[in-house]
Every structure is written in C-alpha cells, then in structure tokens.
Structure 1
C-alpha cells in the first residue's frame, strides 16, 4: 500500500514537473505568430492598387478567410487535414496512418502533419527533416492551438504558404498566376493553389507546367474520393457537393480541362507615385487607403502609357481626375511610366509647377462676367494693342477683328483675354486663386502682371484641376484630397525637380509686361534616380478618404452665374477630330516654347486635367494643347468608366441673350463701361499666295498633295474662300486656311468677308 502511494505520488510529481516545464517553455519560447507582411495601398473601395515587398523581398499579403473562396478552404482542409476542426494540433490517426504506410511501402506515402504542424514549419523554417524536427513541429503546433482559433490558424497558413520564388500566401499567388484576388476562383484554380505549397519550386507552372498539372489533378481526385468515402453520395442529387462544398466526378472532368497559366504576372503596381507618397508619409500602417478608384486608375494609366509611346521618346503624360463636389481624386497619373528613367518617370508631374499657357483664360472671362463687363455676345476687338508696352500676339500671328466674347474664348484669342484681364486686374485674379486654395508662383518680389493670363505664372496640374473643379461646382471650390494627409507631407522643394521657365508666357506672346513675367522654377540639379523623401506622419495618423468631415470648403472662385456662363461657352468648343463624343466643357493651353501641352475639361461632376511634356523642361515643337493633350482628355473621360453627368440648370442671373437684346453698353466691350465706337476694318487682301505667284505643289508622306496655306489680312470675319469658283467646305474666322489643289495649272482664289468685300488672286500651281 505504501509503495503504491509512493508510486502515485512520484507519477503525479513527474507529470506536474513535465507540465510545469511545458508551461515554462511555452511562456519563455512562444511561437512567432506576427510575420512581416507586405504593405498595401488600397483604393476607396478596398481594392488593391499596389503592394510593397517585405524587407526580405517577399510578396506576403495578409489573408483572411473573407479574402478567399470558401471552396478553396474546404478543399484545403479535405486534402491536407480532414480532422482539422476536431484535433488540437496533432492528429494521432494521421500519424499512425503515415507510420503504417512507411512500414508497408518503405517510403513516405502521405504525411501525418496537420495544418497546425505545417504552420509551425512555416513560422520557423528549418532545412533538416528529422524526428527531432517533427517533434519540434508538434510542440509548436500545440502552442499555436493554445493561442489561436481554428479560423486564425487557417488565415495565418493562407498568408504564409509558399508558392515558389518570392511568393508567399494565397493572395500573392492568385494575383501572380491568375491576375485576380482569390475571392472567386474556379475549381481548377483552387485545386492548383492547394497543390503548389507542397513542392512550390518543383511545381511552379512557369517552370514545370506538366508537374503543376499533375499536382492539380491529384488534389482534384483525392478530394473527390475523400468526399465520396465519407458521404457515399448519390451523384444525381450531389449530396457530397451540397454537404461539403466539394466536387464530384463531373466537376473534376470540367476542371481538368481548364488550362494552367504558364507565366507569372506582376503584382498590381497602380498609382505608383501616390502609393509611394502614402507609405513615405506614414510608414507605420500596413494598409493605406486612398481616394482613388481602381477602375479609373487602370484606364488612365493604360491610356497614358499608350499615348506616350505614340508621341515619342522622353515625353511624359500626367493626369488627374477628381470629383468636383467632394474634391476626391479618383485617378492620379504622375507620369506615363514610373519606371522609365529616360523620361524621369519617377517624378510626379502633377505636383511640378509649370507654365499653364492659355488654361487660365476662363477665369479671366469669369471675373468679367461677374463684374457685368461683358456677356456671351458682347463684341470685343482682336487687333494689335499695347498695354503700357506689353504687346500680346495670337498664336498664328493674325487677328480676327471684331469677335464676340463667346468666339474669343472658344478660339482662345490672346488680345481679348488681355483686354479683359487689364479691366478686372491681374492682382485680383491671383487673390481669387489664393482664396480658392491655389498659390500661383511668381518670381520673388514681383507683382502679378498681364502675362499671367497667357501662362506667365507657375501652377501644377493639381492646381488647375482644383480651379476647374470650382467651375464645375458652380463656383464653389473644395480642396483636392488623395487620402494622404496634407499636414503629414513636406512638398518636394522646387529646386529638386525639373521646373519651368516660360519666358513671356503663352506661345506667340512677344514683348514684356509692365512687370517682368520671366518665371523660372527648379532645374535638373536633382540627379538621383530615387524621388526625394517626404516628411512623416505621427504614429497611427493617416489619410481618411471618405466622409464629409474631411472636406475643406474654400472661398468661392466665381459666382454661380459666372461659372455657368463660362461652362456654356467652353461646352461649345468642338472636340478634336476622331475623339470620343462627350458632353464636356474644356480648355487647352500651350506654354511658351512648346514645353507644356494642357487640356482640362469637366462635366456636371467630374474634372480631368491632362499635361503632356518633358520632365526636364525641354521644348517639344510638335506638341500643342489642342492637337496633343485634348485627344487624351476625351479618351481619358471615356476610359475612366464614369458616366457623363449633365451640367446644372442655369442659376439665377445666368441667361443667354442675343446681341440685339443686350443693353447698349454691353454690345461692345469698353473697359470704362462707356459705349464703344465701332472700328472700321480694312478690306480683305490675300497676302499668300500673292497675285501671279508660281507655287510648287509638294507631296506629303503618303504621296498625296500637301495642302497649301492661304493667308489674308484685313476684312471682317467670318471669311468664305473659293477656289476656281467652288467654295471651300466651311467659313472660317481665322485668316489662314488650308487648301489642297486638285492639280497643276492656273487657279483663281477668292475670299469674301462678312461685309461682302472680296479679294481675288490668280496663281500658277506646278508639280
């Protein structure tokens, strides 16, 4: 009796000591359950825009069961660990089965590792395969089961499972092999993702397609066999499928016929500039959510890359699409190709100040409408003029004479715009911009002059989109937001970026203003191939892309009536030939020296801005706002996937009036408000080709005759041209027009102006 008592006590003490040792080991050596994960940047709807590899170069995306097709989870459990939901980390029956197969066959037929044991091997990878290693896995599996729920164990396994190369986890694998998140998978796709982690390098589809296919087939067959062995289903009612969510023989046949991708895709790398900004501004969070819409972003990035390729080397494209009502940026393209060093693709050109060309003219007209100086049909002069020595010229070096305000803005005439700016005041325009949250850049110590109306000022693409959003939003401006907190960022100093030097503003602008308008911002002093680092947010702080509380209302840019009138005019500008039809109001601009081509357009809700140029500020004579940027603008609206939104109804005070309905003081513009006297134009005169000229007919690249440019001076627009008595297709307000002769010999050219006056020349056309 005494011996039995001593034996019992010894046994109890031994077990207690073992338990204490186990608890001590568990406390002192907990399993590492917080692996380093890839940082993710998500769009406004939670879709992945870009992921960043971990420090060890792994693509390891956190995965939850909600991220994965339920059939994959059921297939994984059925294939790897059928009693997963009932055991506590170790499955004795599976171990006995594996040992028996080893004795019977002399080799390992099936492993006895549970998913918990496999997870233990993943969190502590060791090269050796020994009994000691297996015992260590079993101990770790017990620890894992004590700390995590079954759901959490599955999620951690699905996050860490190896898929070959630097791919870890089912999300990274699904994106790399199928180009999609694993929320919805086919049976064949799910089976492949179950099979690969067993031998990830040997079964990689890009290196061993037959091996990958064979592994997938084994999973499909074994899962179906296990299902039928347990449920013995009637295949007509498919009880196995209904009970487990698994597959039957017919599903296997269909899945086996499905092809396996043989090439690995790159993981999403959308919005590279904005994603980098978010991570640099606040490195702490693993997930950053921005205001972008993935569908919009994909469309704009694809368009920018294709358009830049067709335009030529070193040219880049930047685009910003925003919601005018909320200020949310839905699409952001900083360059055509972030990874193209030859075009400085890593520089975010949406934030670099450049000369905006003629894109500020709508705001000049808006102030004039607001002040009651003009209406759409008011006549204004487009003739040579001097403003205290400042002599602006039009792009084509010609003048239209008397034009309506509508025509002057639609044709982007420079002299009428400067006449209006001189009346409303350049300083007042700059104040409006500042109150609307936009700081236009002028040389230090210089006051704003008239040249700002033609591009003699520095603005970013974001600035322009914010200003045009005010036009789309009935004059009300909200600050643009991208989800990265503004106060957490330190803007890259201009000296580190390629800047602008638009001498004297707009193309065709000659002479100087009363205040010097030479603007030079930045240079190419920054030679690094990596963008400068930004400031960092306090820990835990990050952008919030949703919620009206984040809207920051600013002072009105224009009155609703003035904003509507500008939209009424700009919506009448014809789109470039061949562009998709879209009911938008838009304006183009080209900076001095052909360095920047712009186009900004909007409908009743969305604003899109496009910039085309070189990041090193070099001139590109072939680009203009209308010919280069405007087609991209219209294509961008089409690619965005956003439905057109009609313009709002005219607000109070906004009306369309014919010229004869206007008060006498508004029929012709006069800066002092007095009734202006009409000017008498000289009769039209054809200056090229002159009378009796012999003109050699050149051929274009296709061998067809090249058009001949006809030029005139004087007269009152519009003009009707006739060649050999036959009218050319459309009357024109410009004093240049293209004509393609139908052959060699004498031709008679005639032009008739709006007053009925005509001029005629006879020329000899030779081939």
Structure 2
C-alpha cells in the first residue's frame, strides 16, 4: 500500500511540475556544442591526426563518436562516474541526498552527487557552486534527457570533458597524453582518462604522475568491486606505470592540412598513410640537411590504382624559415626540365613516327633558330630512341617534337590534366620539351601515372570523397614501351614481362630545379629539390640530387608483386639501321648495316625520321651503274647500258660519327670516267683543316690556350660548336681563334648549310 501511495504521489508531482518544466524549457532553451566549436583536425587514412588547428577559444578538441572509443574506457567511465546512467532521468535523487548528507556532516564538499548528464549540463552551461547553481544544473540535466538520447548525451561528454590545460575531449586527451587514439586504450590508460576530468590540473599525468596513479587505481578498484573486471585484470592494469607524452600538437603533412583546412569541417579525412608520411618526412629532412643552405624539397607518393595520395611532403621542414618551409612546392609552378620527354616519345609511338629502336640524330641543328645543348655537352651522332630517352638527350627530343608539333604536344598534355604555364602567354614552342614552361609537381605525377595504368593520366586524390578523375594521354602499348625504354637493360633481359621502378630526371635552366619522377606498377613518386625563391644550386641536378632521395622514398613503400604485363598489341621486331624498317622486309640484306631489337605497336615498323629542312638527305637512292665497272653513270650516257642500283645512306649529318665504311662518300659509287656530265650526288663536304682528330694540346704556363679554327669545303655558312654549344659562324676558309680556359676533353664540330658535318676531339692540358 505504501509503495502504491508513493508511486501515486510521484506521478501527481510530475504532472503538476511538467507544465512548469515545459514553460522554462521554452523560455531557456538548450544551447548545445556545435561542430564549429571543435578543433579543425586533418587526419590520415587510419584516423591519426596529421595537423590540428585550435578552435576560437584556443582549445584542442577532436570530434569522436561512441563507436570510435574503446569499450574498456566506456565501461570504466559509466562504472566510476554514474553506474545508473542508463536508468535515471538525468538526476539521481538518492545520490543527491547522499551527497547532501555527507557534505553537511563533514562541513565541506565530499561528493557532488552529479550524474554524467549533470556533468554535461555543467559543461554546456557553467554555473557557480551554490544552491541556485545546483538547481540550474538539475534543470539543464532534465532538459538534456528530455531532448536527447543517452547516446547523444554521452557523446557530448566524450567530446567536451576537460582534461587539463587546453585539452578538451577524450580523443584529444588520448593523443595529447598517450600519443594514440582513444580506440586503442589499455585498461590502465582507460582508468586514468576516466578520472582525469575530476581534477584535470591536479591529476595531469605529465605533471603529477604519482597523484594520477593513485586516482587511476581508485577507478580500477571500483571496477573490481562492481565485478566488472576480474581481480587478475585489475592487478595486471595496476602494474602498468603512469606515463604521459610531453604535450605537443600534431604537425605531420602540415602543408596538406593547411591546403585542406575548411572552417565548416571539424574533421577532414585524407588518404595519407600516417606511418609512411612520418617516416618520409624524417628522410627528407635528414637528406636536405646535407644540401646547400635554403634548399627545400617536395615529395608526393600516390597509389596508381586509386590515385590516393599516400605521402605529401610540400617542403623539407615546415618550421624552417631559412628554407622557406611554409612554401608548398607540390603546388608551386616550376620549370620541369626534361621530365616531359617521355610523353613526347609516347606520342611519337602512337603517331607511328618511331619504335623503341628508331634511329635519331644527335648532331648540330642546321638552319634552326632553336639550337639546344645536351646536358652532358657535345654530340653523340646516331642514337636509338631508347638511348636518347634514357640519356635524356635534348636534340633527339627536339627532333621528335618538330614532327609532333609543339602545339599538338602541349594540347594533349593539357587535355590530360597537366597545366602548362607558358611565359607571357606565349604559344607553345620547341623549348617546352626542355623545360621552357611552368608546371606543378602534383600534375606531373598525375601524368606519369599513365605509364603504369593503361596510358591514363589522373588527378591525385587528397581526400576520400574526391572522385577518381582519369584522362587519356597515351595508348596502353605506348605506355608500356616507354617504361621499357626507361628500364635498366639487365633487368629487362631477365624479366621480359614485368617492370620495376623506372624514373626520369629533369634539371631546369640554371640549376634551379632538380626533378626525379619514379613509376612502378603500384606507385608513382614525384621528387623536387631546389630553392623556393628560384635561386640556382650550381652542380645539383636531377640524377645526382633527386634520384638518391627518390630511391630512399621507394624503399619505404611496401613490397607488392608486379602485375602489369605486356599489352597484346606490343611485339618485338628486329630492325635495321639506317632505314629503321624490319629486317625481314629488307629487299637487300647488305643494306642492313646494323640490327637492333625494337618494341613496336600493332606490328607497324616506321622508317627512320629524316630532317625535311636538309636538302639532298634521302636514305635510299636509285643510281645508274655501269654493270661492267660498277661505277656510277648518267642516264643520258647512251653508250652504256646502265642498270639502276639501290644504295642506302645514313642521314647526312651523322657522317662524322660513323665508321669510314658507312660514310656517304664511301657508300656512293665513284663516277665512271667513260661517261661525261655525271651529276654529283654529294657536294664537297665541310672538313676541319686546322686541327686533327684526337689532338693533344700540351700544358702551357698561361691560364688560357688559343687555337686557330678553320674548315674547307661545304656550302654556305659554317656553324662552329664546342661541346655542343654554338660559338661562331664563319664562311668557308675563314679562320678564327678560340681560347680554352680549362683543361679537359673537347668536341669541336662544324656544319655547313647542306648539313654536312665534321668533328674532331681535342684534349687540353693547362
């Protein structure tokens, strides 16, 4: 009877007070924490914070849900703070009466009797420790229970409980003190973080570890007392020492975080591999410390299949002002040097202009306004497309671009997502292939990815919600062949179907940028080194400065078995130089002067490219021959029954680099004296007459050594080159003086207006 009477009394009181509560609820509505109140945090793929930005109050606060917090922490929290949390309506009358009685008897505050809901009420609406304040707290607690679920109330506590200093919320506290997410708390750590909000300043483990241990053990004892954890489990937890990291805010991938930070988002999820990011940052910082002052670096690693950015290092050291560490060189516009060359070779393959062993010309450029030098200086004469690409020779690359056209080349790159920033809004020209344009590292990496994934360039993805965007750049066959062309020959001979990491380097004019871009089946890595202010770094270039760092980064990546096989439309063919066509289709095998193994597309074997601006430069001629003497005659010579004989020549400009037996004047039959008026096929070639090949110039006391240079023969003006650099323009037989200022080996070459060339090498001693 008494229980029924008490129940009825409570019901009557509730009915009478409910309208009053609803009125006050309408007059004094709840103000709940907003997402904008949280710290902005950019996290790695696994949720580990990379960089955080404090909220307006200067607090560090990471958003978290109940499902993301370890179960042992939730158990300890409910057991210690409010074991009846899921039963009471926000206020526990028994606990309040007990607390009131204890405080009266002891004449001081022994217990507050607050539930977790009441603690949340005090967090969202702070109050004085007084009777009016307690009434206000109780009212807010009832409001919370009226409007929210228990899970929502607990979530507010997890995100807003004070943990000392500027640390707010369980997730921020776990990272700040323990260096890990609250998802992975041990039993001892869970107990420690449970009690810490009761007295954050007095119990901070980084300042008062002994007090923190006593309070932690009190929580553990409570869990054992309630039979929630076994005695053995509690005993084991007590053996774990209390420790705490020195409070430090996260600063990994700081430039990526700065780029992604948005005021309306408290948590931004990236695709970065946290462990790779942290390790790579250390590698880059250590590597750059050995380089000249003000040097910075940028490294971007993407997964080829998903284009997820796994490591983003925009500068060598974000905090180093001397190296301009705040400048993000991944998104900066810089000159790419020779890194665009593989795209030209791929496009030439697709256009049917070349195969992998096509004969290209590395010789002085005749009648051209644009005459680039090779990085290694000097000329190499006949080179295959593969060798020209691997050695990054400039003149063969320009030769290809002339046939592709700079405008088409630029347009195809731009369509694939590579932004080309031309100086003064000028049109694309031949200089683009050697770095006469501005690009971004991230876009370059996106285009290099095409070499691994079916010729499709793609945009690197910063976040999980960014869609995969792919664009056609080259055919899958051309992509595979270019990777083969860049692959080490020894590896290729043993692993015909699979390709390892391949790379291409680049160095911008004046040693301002050193590049290396590496491609494997699974990853593409972009590396840039230089000075953000654009000042030069003499002696530092892609191969010696960027490649070693590229290799170190590649070693950090997990091993994955190669899987990209040779496309079905790629085959191998034996071809002949100088014609460049298939050996099997040669009408006369005696004109197959050199054989090469080539990768070809769709069984098409394009012939050798010739320079259309050089007259009298055919590779195949039909000349009338006297069958009795084997000498050349004229078709107007009626007294001789001639026959037409085919002869095969090398490109005219390659003569100085060929064995004598393959030079043009040796391959073309001599004139038959019995037949007059035989037209010459070759004009008299230019010939250096002032110095012989392999001349040794002896040591001299003077700091400079001068020699006279002149040449006979040839047609029109003579262009003179020293180690590939144009130094003079003369007329036939006109001599000039050149001074050597350094000891070493020099290549001296001259070319006339018809393209005939002569070359000698000299060695100078000082």
Q: Residue by residue, what CA displacement relative to the aligned partner does 1:528-557 show, whole Å, maximum 9, x if unpaired?
A: xxxxxxxxxxxxxxx823xxxx34443x32
Is the 1:90–1:114 contact (alpha carbons within 8 Å) kept by the matching residues of 2?
yes
Which of these residues, 482, 501, 504, is aligned with residue 587 of structure 1? Answer: 504
SS of the aligned residue for 1:392 comes to coil
SS of the aligned residue for 1:319 comes to strand
Q: Residue by residue, what CA displacement relative to the aligned partner does 1:502-561 show, whole Å, maximum 9, x if unpaired?
A: xxxxxxxxxxxxxxxxxxxxxxxxxxxxxxxxxxxxxxxxx823xxxx34443x322222
Residue matched to 2:545: 628
1:277 paired with 2:198, answer: no
Residue matched to 1:252: 234
SS of the aligned residue for 1:201 comes to helix
- Equivalence map 1:348-363=2 (5 Å): 348-363=328-343
- Equivalence map 1:142-157=2 (5 Å): 142-157=142-157
SS of the aligned residue for 1:40 comes to strand
Is the 2:62–2:267 contact (alpha carbons within 8 Å) kept by the matching residues of 1?
no
Residue matched to 1:370: 350
Cα distance change on mapping 1:136 and 1:674 into 2, 3 Å: same
Is the 1:322–1:328 contact (alpha carbons within 8 Å) kept by the matching residues of 2?
yes
SS of the aligned residue for 1:25 comes to helix
Residue matched to 1:31: 30
Q: Distance in 2 between matches of 1:198 and 1:638?
A: 48
Residue matched to 1:643: 560
Is the 1:172–1:267 contact (alpha carbons within 8 Å) kept by the matching residues of 2?
no
Q: Distance in 2 between matches of 1:70 and 1:641?
A: 32
Q: Residue by residue, what CA displacement relative to the aligned partner does 1:196-232 show, whole Å, maximum 9, x if unpaired?
A: 11110111122222222222222222332x22xxxxx
TM-score by length of 1: 0.72
Q: Distance in 1 between matches of 2:305 and 2:233?
A: 50
More strand by share: 2
SS of the aligned residue for 2:41 comes to strand
Which of these residues, 401, 404, 407, is aligned with residue 424 of structure 1? Answer: 404
SS of the aligned residue for 1:634 comes to helix
Residue matched to 2:465: 544
Is the 1:588–1:625 contact (alpha carbons within 8 Å) kept by the matching residues of 2?
yes
Q: Distance in 2 between matches of 1:761 and 1:611?
A: 36
Residue matched to 1:20: 19
Residue matched to 2:629: none
Residue matched to 1:77: 78
- Equivalence map 1:432-511=2 (5 Å): 432-483=412-463
Q: Distance in 2 between matches of 1:209 and 1:407?
A: 66
How far 1:145 moved relative to its partner? 1.6
Q: Distance in 2 between matches of 1:359 and 1:387?
A: 27
Residue matched to 2:298: 318
Q: Residue by residue, what CA displacement relative to the aligned partner does 1:685-730 show, whole Å, maximum 9, x if unpaired?
A: 6678x66899xxxxxxxxxxxxxxxxx999xxxxxxxxxxxxxxxx
SS of the aligned residue for 2:245 comes to coil
Cα distance change on mapping 1:94 and 1:195 into 2, 3 Å: same
Is the 2:745–2:762 contact (alpha carbons within 8 Å) kept by the matching residues of 1?
no
Q: Distance in 2 between matches of 1:387 and 1:111?
A: 94
Is the 2:529–2:545 contact (alpha carbons within 8 Å) kept by the matching residues of 1?
yes
Most deviating of 366-375 and 665-674: 665-674
TM-score by length of 2: 0.72
Unaligned 5+ residue runs, structure 1? 1-10, 228-239, 484-542, 576-581, 695-711, 715-733, 737-757
Cα distance change on mapping 1:573 and 1:607 into 2, 3 Å: farther
Q: Distance in 2 between matches of 1:342 and 1:762?
A: 42
Is the 1:685–1:713 contact (alpha carbons within 8 Å) kept by the matching residues of 2?
no
Structural RMSD (CA)? 3.6
Q: Distance in 2 between matches of 1:553 and 1:286?
A: 30
Most deviating of 319-328 and 175-184: 319-328
- Equivalence map 1:205-284=2 (5 Å): 205-224=205-224, 226-227=225-226, 240=227, 244=228, 246=229, 248-280=230-262, 283-284=263-264
Most deviating of 66-75 and 291-300: 291-300
Q: Distance in 1 between matches of 2:30 and 2:316?
A: 46
Cα distance change on mapping 1:457 and 1:760 into 2, 3 Å: closer
SS of the aligned residue for 1:655 comes to strand
Is the 2:48–2:181 contact (alpha carbons within 8 Å) kept by the matching residues of 1?
no
How far 1:66 moved relative to its partner? 0.8
Which of these residues, 253, 268, 272, is aligned with residue 288 of structure 1? Answer: 268
1:568 paired with 2:548, answer: no
Which of these residues, 645, 657, 660, is aligned with residue 681 of structure 1? Answer: 657
Q: Distance in 2 between matches of 1:311 and 1:359?
A: 22
Residue matched to 2:530: 613
Is the 2:298–2:313 contact (alpha carbons within 8 Å) kept by the matching residues of 1?
yes
SS of the aligned residue for 1:223 comes to helix
Cα distance change on mapping 1:395 and 1:763 into 2, 3 Å: closer
SS of the aligned residue for 1:268 comes to coil
Q: Distance in 2 between matches of 1:598 and 1:453?
A: 14
How far 1:173 moved relative to its partner? 0.4
Q: Distance in 1 between matches of 2:47 and 2:164?
A: 27
Q: Distance in 2 between matches of 1:633 and 1:159?
A: 41
Larger Rg: 2
Is the 2:96–2:113 contact (alpha carbons within 8 Å) kept by the matching residues of 1?
yes
